[in-house]
Structure 1
């Protein structure tokens, strides 16, 4: 509320205005306040025409140009005025009329004006009681602090109508003997005491012992179930743990770890450069930093190799489970028949020996390990494996080392060699006849072989990374991984997320021939970093977690030359454009985006050629017989 004529540097006076309805309006004004300002204040508070307001002091009508100081008001004092209004009765104010008292308080030589406001509010119902002898009703009073009632469903629960509930008698009918219930009208229940009962009689009549036995049985059954579950959890095979780790720890997570180590290393090197010390101190700090980096990298690489071993082991178990599974087919009557062939039995024998060889429990016990090696030796001896002689020599070597009680460290390398040979052994058709049934009929086991220019190994085409920019297979995937870890340290997780979101959006639009399904995360990385410079085209936001690739022209399929990098909110607004883009964007901005698209065509030239070849194949018409089939089934080509 505005305070008329009030100034921090002016002297203050308390003005009490008495109305015709015996109401008092108190407020603080400065001594220089005029009568006209008082009428303006009353016009705002009382909502009364200013021309009809008359102020009197000692039965004298006041003029508008008179000030409170001229009328005899003193500083920090009280001044009384009377209010009259022609033709209006102020029995009720037009709206809320505050009743304010103003007092002056002196604190440490300073004079402070305090306004006391008594606001009208609904009286809360706080309960009470009635004196039975005198019949008087007493209500509980509340403190001066305003009560804050709880509001539920637009109802103040502190009010009396909300807290005073209507008592209703509830009649609980009991069918037991010796229990009486009253009528529903009076709500009174009369209970009669039972006859005295001894403990022996109580145990016999109430069947306490029988009920205790039932509870004990149920409790013991629950304990037994819990023990059985705990034992099963301890005896779970290692394959389940490896499958869990396969889902939780993937290769891309290690890329993220290496990228984090790279960022930490750059930060530490900057801090070493900022050290105000001599050259020898800086060299010592750099040497300690290099040791820490080597320690971190060795620890991450150790865990990665352990994960790789567990995944390989899990793949072997899956392969043996599928090859040892009996064949199931239906007969003429529709019944399922199960046939266990000789190949399934051989695969089951290989599976049992593999679990014994790779089990950690048997590795610690020498006798069990020797029995497992004897079974493996007899199996290899009776086969036509081309590396049979080498395999048998390695088994004999481990048996000799176990007999002389060699340490586990000495046996680690030879045991890994045995597992590697056995992994190759179980996948040979002359050893496991069900190998051919494991692979799909369309899957070629004899692939094209290429030579890696770095590691000089002859590898299959599936061991090389396939991208749109690659014309031929030069560097294998393993060498590329070593290059990324040793030099680049690129975290591909944000770009995988962008590609996943892009593919999901294209599937929602039923664009199954979009180029995003051909592209790989590394290509999305080049598109975002080289073409769009990792910034939004509109707001230039560089946070990868909020950026996404969308179509530039909505009616065309997504491609690197028909896309734009925007934030989620910007992409939502961009995709809602129905008219021409020239009506919404500036000409310079559209030409800038077109230049980006031209650069993308140069970067992904091979992908452009693939799209052209695919469009040419679509233009080739169907033969006569296939056209008849398409017409019968209403297939549009």
Structure 2
């Protein structure tokens, strides 16, 4: 084996710099051993006597492949070829020689193949290490390879844990031999052992064994570790076998290109930038320039064709034929365009009819839903609006019956019929009153539950990022405990022991606040406990339990006992605040807060409170404002879509809308005369101006959607209709100019 060149030595130095400290020691020892064997041509067959030639060409001696991959076919083929050169007869006849002892100075140079099995994955990692390497250094290497802390790695041999001071030679590793170790993690859940490079992505083992000829008939097995490039080499040319699919690269992709020597001459000159033209004349022979037989030139007529003249077509005939063809094409094209236009019109007609059917069905469904809702409110009234509807229906029925009696009867019969009508009206009012009492009880329980939930609820607000923030305080926690205790006190169908425990907890909670109310509540609790001890039936204690529940609810509403109740009480706790926002009711002659009065845009001072207004409506007028409330609600929603800064619709109240609908527009649509109040809406007259009582028109819902598409009402509607609408606007201005809230808007006209 000849000496290596200087260039090869430089490349070897570069490769050594890339290796780690442990791998560099093994590589240097291998290279020095190969150079020494080449110079001295010593026979080192004895070092490999224990390993038959070609028997273990993989990373280890137990037949396993590193990472579950197959070895490189080229390397295996080379190793088998060299193994064939070995004389099998002489190898079997030689006696096994003992391995020479390893000196202490050579421990860092002699390597061994280490197979590490990752537990419990079962994957194998094969690396060449110096036999003097300790377990601590081996852990440090695999810690960087597996990306796990060094402290969690545990190395074992045959199920026995190894110490960090032990070396591979202490474990029985021999030069150029192999050893199998197990590695596991002490924290498999946090730091599992997984190779960074999956085995299925590799086609080549990490370590191979190569036989190198060191002399005539002398061979040595060398363990070579394969270093993989960080990225795939670019394809710079070659070809691919179509049958086998093997790719062959050009030699330029395997070796660096050779740089041409500089000649010292400028490569650019004027000759390379200009073009040299040349002109040359040429005369073709006579056989090329003629098509007829002549003197000295014969032209064959074998391939000639005989052409007969056809009918002569004049210019007029040709143009007339082209004109007929153009007319025919235009006729077919116009037919196709006409059919397409008709199809489009038909599709639009179908879409329009389908939309009209859908709107008609929607209107019918809405009307049926309104009727069902009205009937449900008649049969099962719950709110104040429901009872107003009942009284309105009762008044309408009474007027019809009275009118029929006045028309059909006279004298004593008329008086008797009127008395009978009065008795029927009285019975119906009593029936409505009973329903009102039931609804009041249900609404009272719901109001108490709502009050307790508000007290126990956390404080909420919106942050800058539109997230809801909830905060619990000590007052809300106490309010929640009082709410749960109130539910337990009102619970029914519980045992006597459970009732006693609840009353005991209520007594301890009540004694925290010393007042006359708490003392009365404690006295009632002691009385019920004493009666239950004497065996009194629960039915006899219902009145007493009702009093306890009422007193406890009053105690919960006390701000000194429940601080969260102060922000929900209508009456301010500070006496200085009683002077502000207090008005006198002329009906019941009481001083009440502004929240107890109906807001009205035309009210200058406080008039009648809500209770007096409801009582007067039930006794005299019996009006139902539900339909007007729906008209006002829909008006506000539509104006918010058109203008976010709309003000006038929010200044009006139900009475103002009622005046507009009944007095100004006579409760009928301005166009069709529809008198169904549930189908009428107030929309803008001039679409580009804000809504106001002097810029509105009462229309049905279908008419309103079409009216909002009109840009100029004077061009679409007749002058008579326009004048009538403007007259109604004048009536609205005359009524609303007395309202202080509307004065500023009227001044801007």
Larger Rg: 2
TM-score normalised by L of structure 1: 0.48
TM-score normalised by L of structure 2: 0.41
